[in-house]
Structure 1
Amino acid sequence: MKFTDFNFKDYINQTLENIKFEKPTEVQQKLIPIVLSGRDLVGESKTGSGKTHTFLLPIFQNINPELDEVQAVITAPSRELATQIYKAAQEFVKVNDKIRVSNFVGGTDKARQIKKLEAAQPHIVIGTPGRIHDLVKSNALVVHTARTFVVDEADMTLDMGFLADVDQIASSFGKRVQMLVFSATIPQKLQPFLKKYLHNPVMEKIANKTVISDTIENWLVSTKGSSHNQLLLQLTKALNPYMAMIFANTKGRVDDIHHFLTSNGLKVAKIHGDVPPRERKRIMNSIKNLDYQYVVATDIAARGIDIEGVSHIINDEIPKDLTFFVHRVGRSGRNGLRGTAITLYSPSDDSSIREIEKMGVTFQPKAVKDGEIVDSYDRDRREKRTKKQDEISLATRGALAKGKKKVKPGYKRAIKWQIEEENKKNRRAERNKNARKTRDSRKQSF
């Protein structure tokens, strides 16, 4: 299937050609016809599946530039994500400049936005829930005319405490508005909102064929009780990445990593919720200009920021919410490019790693040695070695089977001794084998 099969307006097809979009993703192929039909929709799919154009394309198809009123409102939980959607929308405006699109996010000049709204209302409103709600509440932004309302990244909107603002915005619309809710997951706490505003919605869950792109390698590096900061520094020297994102679980840890790596001469940017909006905007522009080789961030960046050219992801810690592991790693390996995700772990993280493996992630054990990344031992090697050593001969197994029955005193003790002796024999044989290999390799080197 191609985008031309949707029979979009000429300027939309021209835009798709300009941005080199030919074939729709699975999400777009399945959900665009539903959105075009006017039905309410709850679309559940993972980050990077093409959700943005799933709602932008039908919105632009239905926009009437002759009407001087708001016709669609799109909310996103972070400034970066809202700006990302706005930039995608701007590609269509380049071809059809009669359509007005505005981006309203926190940390920008509200008075200036109000003055601009007095002159003309945008056809499409994109922004963060708090700022849009403020503008609606002040009667500057008139949204009751909108025919489409999109709540993007609804689970993140809920987690960040913005659902109340979204609720207030939704209550401002007329009855004819089409509600489109997109989310990576649909948590239970989101259900009351969906029941309140959506009318007989289509519920679609698009399962990813692979949880993580097959262009990404996942490496597991044991901290072995050493300093995370020192290990991160060793990794940076061994990797020398094109661009790496380092993820930590808290703002304080991000600050700590940023200070440490910067003091060691590396070009490092930091992004988290306490960085002022203007500074964040400046940092993002600098990142796009490749002024930094490293970006250290909290999980908000995993969902709200799209940085091109990320070659490596480093998880300083495993996220408490394991779904964020996928969002983090998904920042790399995009558009068919190769990527590497490195996760630092300690023995206490074993259960979390096993859960991630159940999600379909395959880890390769690695270590930093003499300034290089080398293959390491599997973290389960002791368990596997024990199993191997306990493979006993048929005769001993037969004796063991007999030992389960009622036998003469001392018989079970004799069986136990026989097993231990056999295991000792196996271990000696293994040591001798390794010693022979070492001697042979030494002879060959002379």
Structure 2
Amino acid sequence: MTFQDLKIVEPILQAVSEKGYTEPTPIQEKAIPVALQGRDILGCAQTGTGKTAAFAIPLIQHISQTSQKSRGISALILTPTRELALQIEECLTDYARHTGVRHGVIFGGVGQQPQVDMLRRGIDILVATPGRLLDLKAQGLLRLDSIRYFVLDEADRMLDMGFIHDIKKLLPMLPKQKQTMLFSATMPQEIQEITRKILHNPARVEVTPVSSTVDTIDQRLYFVEKQEKTALLISLLHERDERSVLVFSRTKHRADNIVRKLVKAGIKSQAIHGNKSQSVRQSALGNFKTGKTRVMVATDIAARGIDINELPLVINYDIPDVPETYVHRIGRTGRAGNEGLALSFCCDDERKQLKDIQKLTGKRIRVAQ
């Protein structure tokens, strides 16, 4: 199946194509057609499955096809953390670039004035964390009466972080007539109660999480101080002889920083992430596939465009927050019956994520000697 088969309009298809994507992920394949019909959705999916595009693309399409734009905010996407809010905003930037749909993001921990100015200029889609949203609403700086689409993302994580009271406080502020999409990796009792209250005859879409790793992948672990990760990476790359190495970084800024230090150490490297233009990304990918560049440093979103059968080594410079993401990352090596090696760098701050990965895979990752 291709994105064209999902009945996505041409401006969005063009943006999808520019990002180098040709086939939808399973959650996108299931959710996008239903969302485009205007039905409520109960989605069971982890971060790393492509679910952001599964709700972002329908929102952009609905709003871009509305003959008379609403004067207020048409869509609200509520997410638990600043990092997730910024990831969703990046996704909206990618897919809305040819549509004229305006979007913005608000979150706490930073000054509110630039966010207030953005809201006054007018946007169609707002990405928000609960605290800052309710704060601006209480100050009379934000109206929610024009909302026609509401997305509650990472609902179970909202519960874990203590935001459930904020969500219950917010729900009565939204119009009753709207399309609602709720996504959660798990369905604890309190989330089930909320789904019964806010969803009307929802379509249930889910993807089975990947829980088993490829047997041919040799997984090894390095416990290392955070500030020593780059030195360890350079040392390993000098010692080892793999011609193609994919390194995963949690953020775009860190990916660029790693590349600068690798190049300084004489290791041919390039970064690929959402801030790079399509031509730069394609050029970097071409260099990596032909062997001109030995090391590609990528964020999880950008790495979706990397498909190389004989990739001998994947390095997790940062341990991912979501265990399934680890499985997807290391699954890029050991393909087509080839042996593969996955090395992971773990500092003290990442031990919880490591524990979650080992629980999911049912395997203890061997500590490198």
TM-score by length of 1: 0.57
Distance 1:160 1:114 in 2: 25
Task: Using CA pairs under 8 Å that are at least 6 residues apart, name the structure with larger relative contact order, 1 or 2.
Answer: 2
What do the CA deviations read for 1:29-85 (whole angstroms, capped 9, x no partner)?
112122122222111123321101110111111103633221111112111111111
Distance 1:122 1:215 in 2: 48
What do the CA deviations read for 1:171-224 (whole angstroms, capped 9, x no partner)?
21111111111122222232222222222322333213x326649935356x9x
Distance 2:318 2:258 in 1: 22
Q: 1:79 is matched with which residue?
A: 82
Q: CA deviation at 1:135?
A: 1.9
Name the CA shift for 1:162/1:92 in 2 (closer, same or farther; >3 Å). same
Distance 2:91 2:362 in 1: 31
Name the CA shift for 1:242/1:55 in 2 (closer, same or farther; >3 Å). closer
Q: CA deviation at 1:21?
A: 2.1
Q: 2:145 is matched with which residue?
A: 144
Name the CA shift for 1:107/1:215 in 2 (closer, same or farther; >3 Å). farther
Kindly indicate whether the alpha-carbon contact (under 8 Å) linking 1:43 and 1:205 is maintained by their aligned counterparts in 2.
yes
Give 1 or 2 for the bigger CA radius of gyration. 1
Q: 1:250 is matched with which residue?
A: none
Kindly indicate whether the alpha-carbon contact (under 8 Å) linking 1:103 and 1:126 is maintained by their aligned counterparts in 2.
yes
Name the CA shift for 1:335/1:186 in 2 (closer, same or farther; >3 Å). farther
Question: Residues 391-410 of structure 1 correspond to what in structure 2 (within 5 A)?
Answer: none
Q: 1:426 is matched with which residue?
A: none
Q: 2:236 is matched with which residue?
A: 239
Q: CA deviation at 1:94?
A: 2.3
Which sections of structure 2, spanning at least 5 residues, go unmatched?
Answer: 238-244, 263-298, 304-312
2:72 aligned residue (66, 69, 74): 69
Distance 2:89 2:334 in 1: 24
Name the CA shift for 1:228/1:95 in 2 (closer, same or farther; >3 Å). closer
Distance 2:96 2:218 in 1: 40
Distance 1:315 1:113 in 2: 30
Distance 1:90 1:228 in 2: 35
Name the CA shift for 1:289/1:315 in 2 (closer, same or farther; >3 Å). closer
| Secondary structure in structure 2 of the residue aligned to 1:290 | helix
Q: 1:288 is matched with which residue?
A: 255
Question: Residues 311-390 of structure 1 correspond to what in structure 2 (within 5 A)?
Answer: 311-313=314-316, 325-327=323-325, 330=328, 340-342=342-344, 356=358, 359-360=360-361, 365=366, 367-368=368-369
Name the CA shift for 1:336/1:143 in 2 (closer, same or farther; >3 Å). farther
Distance 1:343 1:286 in 2: 18
Distance 2:50 2:192 in 1: 24
What do the CA deviations read for 1:224-258 (whole angstroms, capped 9, x no partner)?
xxx976xx98976763487566xxxxxxxxxxxxx
Name the CA shift for 1:213/1:172 in 2 (closer, same or farther; >3 Å). farther
Kindly indicate whether the alpha-carbon contact (under 8 Å) linking 1:28 and 1:53 is maintained by their aligned counterparts in 2.
yes
Query: Is residue 54 of structure 1 aligned with residue 57 of structure 2?
Result: no
Distance 1:50 1:334 in 2: 16
TM-score by length of 2: 0.67
Matched residue type, 1:286: H
Name the CA shift for 1:182/1:355 in 2 (closer, same or farther; >3 Å). closer
| Secondary structure in structure 1 of the residue aligned to 2:24 | coil
Q: 2:279 is matched with which residue?
A: none
Which sections of structure 1, spanning at least 5 residues, go unmatched?
Answer: 246-270, 272-283, 295-304, 369-446
What do the CA deviations read for 1:101-134 (whole angstroms, capped 9, x no partner)?
011111232123224433x331000121211222
Question: Residues 26-425 of structure 1 correspond to what in structure 2 (within 5 A)?
Answer: 26-63=26-63, 64=66, 66-97=69-100, 99-118=101-120, 120-208=121-209, 210-211=210-211, 214=214, 217=217, 219=219, 239-240=236-237, 243=247, 284=251, 286-291=253-258, 306=300, 311-313=314-316, 325-327=323-325, 330=328, 340-342=342-344, 356=358, 359-360=360-361, 365=366, 367-368=368-369
Distance 2:211 2:77 in 1: 27
Distance 1:355 1:88 in 2: 26
Identical columns (%): 28
| Secondary structure in structure 2 of the residue aligned to 1:125 | strand
Kindly indicate whether the alpha-carbon contact (under 8 Å) linking 2:216 and 2:334 is maintained by their aligned counterparts in 1.
no
Name the CA shift for 1:343/1:87 in 2 (closer, same or farther; >3 Å). closer
Distance 2:158 2:43 in 1: 15
Name the CA shift for 1:362/1:147 in 2 (closer, same or farther; >3 Å). same
Distance 1:69 1:76 in 2: 20
Q: 2:24 is matched with which residue?
A: 24
Distance 2:217 2:199 in 1: 41
Kindly indicate whether the alpha-carbon contact (under 8 Å) linking 1:219 and 1:364 is maintained by their aligned counterparts in 2.
yes
Matched residue type, 1:239: L
Matched residue type, 2:102: R
What do the CA deviations read for 1:123-154 (whole angstroms, capped 9, x no partner)?
00012121122222222221221111111111
Q: CA deviation at 1:308?
A: 5.7
Distance 1:107 1:333 in 2: 36
| Secondary structure in structure 2 of the residue aligned to 1:171 | helix
Q: 1:262 is matched with which residue?
A: none
